[in-house]
């Protein structure tokens, strides 16, 4: 039986770690994820239960994205509280009512500390009197530093191009997130093909369910099943690996929060802020280069994962 006191990782034939269930933090972690669970339960009351391609549970996406066929990035339902703070118009989706804004901003406040454990990037906040920054020991940077650098660089570039863009969690390298509000968040087998093909996706499990008999994560291609208990967080290449959950009991509840960056945002930069169709029509040289670089882009991207020896060396340094 696997120990919960250590992380569990999967490596490919070149020893590159591409999936990892991280160690749960000590201290007040149960209190932190319990607070997030309460936020999910409250928010779920305002959403309808509708079937979708990943399963039959309540779902909502937020963050920076780009629509199909569009050459303009935007904020997917970014909460009015954040938008009013920056005095920026909503770029994608309909404006929220004042009541909806209050509900969503309360949710963000309640889960912020939970999110920071596994996706916080370089800093959390300024220390008011000393004007210094303090750093967080976060899982994403610990296990996938080179990949997270690429994610962070993309987010910085996107916001530099369009100052109206705002990440919901500014200290996270991921541009968007999904709230899976249950009440039975159990995914059927799928791949998240809209995400970066070689990229990673952190998944956090929440809610009162028996992790020994349900809620496990099944990774099809590696042929591995992970127990996935309340408070666990796992990183998987969700666009490349088919994944699903073992069902939970009818009287149980399960929520999850996932973070991601759409592959289209990377393509937006690779194509000079144009659609592939537009590049094909107006810039033959750029289009040929974009197509020719495809296989190498996958190989270079996958090499951004690290071996355990590289991680140990980096940590010691």
Mean pLDDT of 43-62: 85
Q: What is the pLDDT of residue 4?
A: 59
Compute how many other C-beta atoms are within 10 angstroms of the C-beta atom of residue 129.
Answer: 6
Which of the pair, 1 or 160, is modelled with greater confidence? Answer: 160
Q: What is the pLDDT of residue 301?
A: 95
**pLDDT classification of 185: cutoffs 50, 70, 90:** very high
Residue 254 has pLDDT above 90, yes or no: yes
Q: What is the pLDDT of residue 307?
A: 96
Strongest mean pLDDT among 36-45, 81-90, 217-226, 305-314: 217-226
Rounded to the nearest integer, the mean pLDDT of the chain is: 83
Which of the pair, 137 or 2, is modelled with greater confidence? Answer: 2
Query: pLDDT for 128-183, tens place per residue?
Result: 322 222 223 368 888 999 999 999 999 999 999 988 888 778 778 899 999 999 89
- Please report, rounded to a whole number, the percentage of residues in the chain having pLDDT higher than 70: 84
Query: Where are the extended beta strands (E) located within 198-253?
Result: 201-206, 217-219, 224-226, 233-236, 243-245
Q: What is the pLDDT of residue 171?
A: 77
First to last CA, the chain: 33
Q: What is the pLDDT of residue 153?
A: 93
Ordered domains of the chain (ranges, CATH): 8-316 (3.60.130)
Q: What is the pLDDT of residue 218?
A: 97
Q: What is the pLDDT of residue 164?
A: 86
Q: What is the pLDDT of residue 311?
A: 92
Residue 283 has pLDDT above 80, yes or no: yes
Query: pLDDT for 94-117, tens place per residue?
Result: 445 666 667 777 888 788 888 877
**pLDDT classification of 53: cutoffs 50, 70, 90:** confident
**pLDDT classification of 85: cutoffs 50, 70, 90:** very low
pTM: 0.85
Query: pLDDT for 186-245, tens place per residue?
Result: 999 999 988 999 999 999 999 999 999 999 999 999 999 999 999 999 999 999 999 999
Residue 11 has pLDDT above 90, yes or no: yes
Cα dist from 61 to 26, 126, 179, 253, 268, whole Å: 30, 29, 6, 20, 20
């Amino acid at each position: 039986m696997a120990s919960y006191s250590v992380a569990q990782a999967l490596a490919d034939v070149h020893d590159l770690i591409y999936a990892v269930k991280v160690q749960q933090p000590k201290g007040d972690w149960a209190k932190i994820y319990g607070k997030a669970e309460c936020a999910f339960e409250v928010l779920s009351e305002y959403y309808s239960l509708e079937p979708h391609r990943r399963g039959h549970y309540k779902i909502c996406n937020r963050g920076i994205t780009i629509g199909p066929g569009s050459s303009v990035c935007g904020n997917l339902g970014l909460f009015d509280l954040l938008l009013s703070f920056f005095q920026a118009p909503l770029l994608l989706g309909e404006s929220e009512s004042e009541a909806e804004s209050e509900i969503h901003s309360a949710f963000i406040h309640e889960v912020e500390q939970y999110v920071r454990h596994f996706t916080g990037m370089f800093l959390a906040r300024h220390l008011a009197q000393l004007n210094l920054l303090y750093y967080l020991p976060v899982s994403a940077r610990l296990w996938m530093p080179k990949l997270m650098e690429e994610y962070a660089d993309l987010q910085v570039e996107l916001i530099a191009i369009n100052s109206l863009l705002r990440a919901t969690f500014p200290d996270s390298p991921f541009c968007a997130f999904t709230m899976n509000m249950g009440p039975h968040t159990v995914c059927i087998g799928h791949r998240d093909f809209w995400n970066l093909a070689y990229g990673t996706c952190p998944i956090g499990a929440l809610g009162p369910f028996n992790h020994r008999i349900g809620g496990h994560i099944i990774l099809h291609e590696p042929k591995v099943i992970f127990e996935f208990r309340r408070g666990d967080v796992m990183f998987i290449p969700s666009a490349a690996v088919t994944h699903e959950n073992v069902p939970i009991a009818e009287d149980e509840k399960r929520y999850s929060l996932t973070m991601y960056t759409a592959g289209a945002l990377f393509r937006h930069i690779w194509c000079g802020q144009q659609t592939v169709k537009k590049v094909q029509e107006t810039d033959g040289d750029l289009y040929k280069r974009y197509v020719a670089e495809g296989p190498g882009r996958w190989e270079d991207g996958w090499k951004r994962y690290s071996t355990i020896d590289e991680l140990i060396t980096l940590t010691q340094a």
